[in-house]
Amino acid sequence: MSLPLPIPPLRLFEINDQPWFPAPVRGYVQAVLTHFWTWKSPIVQPNTPASLIAQTLQRLLGPRITDYVFVDFCSGAGGPTPSIEQEINHSHITRRKERQQRDNQLQQNGHANGSNSENYGARGVDFVLTDIHPHLAAWTAASKCSENLHFVLSPVDAANCPSDLLSRTSVPEKSKRQFRLFSLAFHHFPDIIAVRILRNTLATSDGFAILELQGRDLGNLFIVLCMWPMLLLGSWYWFWGCWGHLFFTYAVPIVPLVIVFDGLVSCLRTRREGEVMKLIREAVRGDEGGLEGWRFETGGELHTWPTGTMQYFIGIKEDSSGDSR
């Protein structure tokens, strides 16, 4: 068990967010963050953090996951979203094949008139990358690997997102429900902007997930401190051939400094369940039916032994029958 810090979330700054921070070095830092989302360390990590997110979404949404298009906000260079998309659609294809086999078996035994598996989300689950500063080169490269990964060319403000956002994308089924993802992003926003984002999300989407790899406790601070020696041990292998990255890791260790400093600050900025709920209530203040039909799921999953925890706060809009809309 991690020891929670008895302090409120602190509005400190992160170096990688600053406009004066050199863009090439920012790219190296983002490469490390993406790597840690999708890399599984032997022994201490049972799954990658991206895989944990995919499993959590599948568990909470069940077969209705195919009803949604997942829109990722503050995507940066892509983050975990391409990996989440691949895992969810791999599981979807596996389930679809199993259902086809079962339907075919029933048909052969005379218990069914035909298979309806062709209608079981044949296209898979679509994901969309967005950002206030689009990373088009990285997104274009990622989207070439999957027909279910898309992006928005123009800047998207998470606090002022239009309900018809999908009309700006190559998603075939633009009338599908929107489920919004904030992966390692929500702690960056001060309360006043976070409230605006939540107000827009509750008004124009059908679900959302706030996902953080850290928490405001001693255990997660310890895991972040361990990242410096981990980078010194592994960067030569992970980023071999990117000599600028290796220079700013070993000769002038700006990359590990920023990763650890920003990681510690992220821990201290991350909101807990009750603090997010307080912002949600503030977002719907004056709107009598603002939370009608919404249910919320919160929790944590261990991503790095012994104390590194993926925190999630998920909202799902349901219809009157209790099913997700």
Q: Rounded CA gap, 268 and 14, in Å? A: 11
Return d(Cα 188, Cα 182) in angstroms, integer: 10
- The single-letter DSSP state of residue 182 is E
Q: Are strands 126-129 and 177-183 parallel, antiparallel or unpaired?
A: unpaired
Lowest mean pLDDT segment, chosen from 48-62, 91-105, 279-293: 91-105
What is the per-residue pLDDT for 88?
95
Paired tokens of 150: 């898309």
pLDDT tens digits for range 77-136: 888 999 999 999 998 888 777 777 777 777 777 655 544 544 455 678 999 999 998 989
Over residues 254-276, the mean pLDDT reads 97
